Structure 1
Amino acid sequence: MQRKQFIGLSQNQIKMIAAAAMVLDHVGMELFPQWTILRIIGRLAFPVFSYCIWEGSRRTHHPWQYLFRMLGMGLLCVAGYYVYTQTFYGNILITFSLSLCVLYAFQYGRTCWAQGKRTAQLTGAGVMLGCVGGIWLICHWVTIDYGFLGVMLPLLAELAARVWEQCSGMGCKQERAGLIGFSVGLLALSLQMGGIQIFSLLTIPLLLAYNGTRGEKNLKQFFYWFYPVHLLLIGLVSLWI
């Protein structure tokens, strides 16, 4: 029998791994805080989804719909958490919404810069700096999951990919260059947060195995609803026990 050659993991597959890790993380946080291993496994979730946000921003044909869907679901979770705890918490979907904002600001800035006109270039730079500055203020005023550096991770991937594009002209390797920039940012985030966050670096081999394909099925709606639904179920179990 001929052994099948490993051709990598699709986006659906790495997202399902990340989703499972997220469930274990939240189960450990809410139900079994003494089981540190669950929180360690959970460190795989955020980097995978953050990297996919970068990819999604490059591939989507409807960028604003992509942003508004993410933001709408995030605000729904914010409202639910506020009702439950009477406190505001900028969940991971808010983090990703801010990531999309800064990615779109960067893309707009590149478009303006390419026009070669001083006014357009200044406008693009102003929009980019204003967006980054605004996000920095938001992250200091309210609690945003993974903070400012967590929001900026997809931008670091985009910057690395664009630098590689300019230096080599080999667009086919932009994804690997982007992963390098993303990994550097992930290391910085791990050192900033400390503790078990260092285990998030185990995500890098998983992302190296990603083959760049979406997968056979369109699971977009599943992943949008997965976050609030699994939190609701875990919350109900926590109240019950």
Structure 2
Amino acid sequence: MNRNLSLPHLSGSSLKIIAVLSMVIDHCAYYLLEHGTVLYEAMRCVGRIAFPVFAFLIAEGFSHTRNKRSYFVQLLGFAFFSEIPWFLLNGADGTHNVMFTLALGVVALTLLDRCCEHKVLSFMAVCLVAVLAYYMGTDYDWRGILMIAIFYITQPQAGNLQDRMIQILFILPLMIHYGTIGAIFASVVILSYNGNRGFITGKAWKYAFYAFYPVHLILICLLV
């Protein structure tokens, strides 16, 4: 049996672009459109592609980065900067932007690595970070942390579609919570990943990718 069947290939860079476009569509619908309309619901469905793909990319990035501490610090720094437009859009509602969720996801993966020989400790460590995300009110809260952790734990070899499908099956219940159609679209995108980094390389592009999140929130603030 051929265990290397694959969907049309998408690089990590392609996944980033898809996730970013999905995120922009989602936020434009949420902040700029009348809720409950057909267009609003359609755009929110497309928008639900974003976070599972970002969670997948965090797990992949953590596996390949040489400096995991720097990875965390960069995400955390942009999380704090993004709080300004997040507060302007959402007010003091007790929530915090998704960059905090991604940064906490890196913390969870770091603890998983350090406790890898002790399954109970690993489980408790991830649960602790998930609880922290919940009480902090980060976007996607505990489910976001679990998505990142499960993507990391169940990583298959690049190009192995069957193992990637098993990975998606573990994640699917969490993704469906935010919408079935979006979960299906996100699953197809992730299944199409070919394991290659793609054309987005270098520090300048990396920081531009991180900076896009607060910048697009600022632009939405100007339109609200």
TM-score range relative to shorter protein:
0.7 to 0.9
1:213-228 pair list within 5 angstroms: 213-218=196-201, 219-228=205-214
Letter in 2 for 1:207: I
- Where does residue 45 of structure 1 map in the other structure? 50
Distance (Å, rounded) in 1 between the aligned partners of 2:193 and 2:130: 31
**Number of aligned residues:** 210
Instruction: Report how far residue 64 of structure 1 moved.
Output: 0.4
- Where does residue 27 of structure 1 map in the other structure? 28
Letter in 2 for 1:148: W
Distance (Å, rounded) in 2 between the aligned partners of 1:172 and 1:204: 16
Letter in 1 for 2:218: L
Instruction: Report how far residue 7 of structure 1 moved.
Output: 6.3
Distance (Å, rounded) in 1 between the aligned partners of 2:8 and 2:136: 43
Q: Which has the higher contact order (CA 8 A, sep 6+)?
A: 2
Q: CA RMSD in A?
A: 2.6
User: Does structure 2 conserve the Cα–Cα contact (< 8 Å) formed by 1:159 and 1:178?
Assistant: no
Letter in 1 for 2:144: G
Query: Percentage identity across aligned positions?
Result: 26
| Among candidates 135, 157, 160, match of residue 141 of structure 1 | 135
Higher Cα Rg, which structure: 1
Distance (Å, rounded) in 2 between the aligned partners of 1:160 and 1:18: 21
Distance (Å, rounded) in 1 between the aligned partners of 2:160 and 2:83: 35
1:53-87 CA distances to partner (integer Å, 9 max, x unpaired)?
00000000110000010011112222443355133
- Residues 108 and 24 of structure 1: CA distance in aligned 2, closer, same or farther (over 3 Å): same
2:115 partner SS: helix
Distance (Å, rounded) in 2 between the aligned partners of 1:17 and 1:220: 16
1:200-239 pair list within 5 angstroms: 200-218=183-201, 219-238=205-224
- Residues 184 and 147 of structure 1: CA distance in aligned 2, closer, same or farther (over 3 Å): farther
| TM-score, normalising length: structure 1 | 0.76
Unaligned runs of 5+ in 2: 1-6
- Where does residue 116 of structure 1 map in the other structure? none
Letter in 1 for 2:97: N
Instruction: Report how far residue 11 of structure 1 moved.
Output: 1.0
User: Does structure 1 conserve the Cα–Cα contact (< 8 Å) formed by 2:49 and 2:183?
Assistant: yes
Instruction: Report how far residue 212 of structure 1 moved.
Output: 1.2
Instruction: Report how far residue 133 of structure 1 moved.
Output: 4.0
- Where does residue 106 of structure 1 map in the other structure? 112
Letter in 2 for 1:14: L
- Residues 177 and 71 of structure 1: CA distance in aligned 2, closer, same or farther (over 3 Å): farther
Unaligned runs of 5+ in 1: 1-5, 114-120, 165-170
- Where does residue 87 of structure 1 map in the other structure? 93
- Where does residue 3 of structure 2 map in the other structure? none
- Residues 17 and 83 of structure 1: CA distance in aligned 2, closer, same or farther (over 3 Å): closer
| Among candidates 189, 204, 207, match of residue 174 of structure 2 | 189
Distance (Å, rounded) in 1 between the aligned partners of 2:165 and 2:80: 29
Distance (Å, rounded) in 2 between the aligned partners of 1:93 and 1:180: 27
User: Does structure 1 conserve the Cα–Cα contact (< 8 Å) formed by 2:112 and 2:126?
Assistant: no
Distance (Å, rounded) in 1 between the aligned partners of 2:175 and 2:146: 14
Distance (Å, rounded) in 1 between the aligned partners of 2:60 and 2:10: 15
Distance (Å, rounded) in 2 between the aligned partners of 1:88 and 1:17: 29
| TM-score, normalising length: structure 2 | 0.82
Instruction: Report how far residue 175 of structure 1 moved.
Output: 8.5
Query: Hey, which of these two has a bigger chunk of helix by percent?
Result: 1
Higher mean C-alpha deviation, range 172-181 or range 218-227 = 172-181
2:137 partner SS: coil
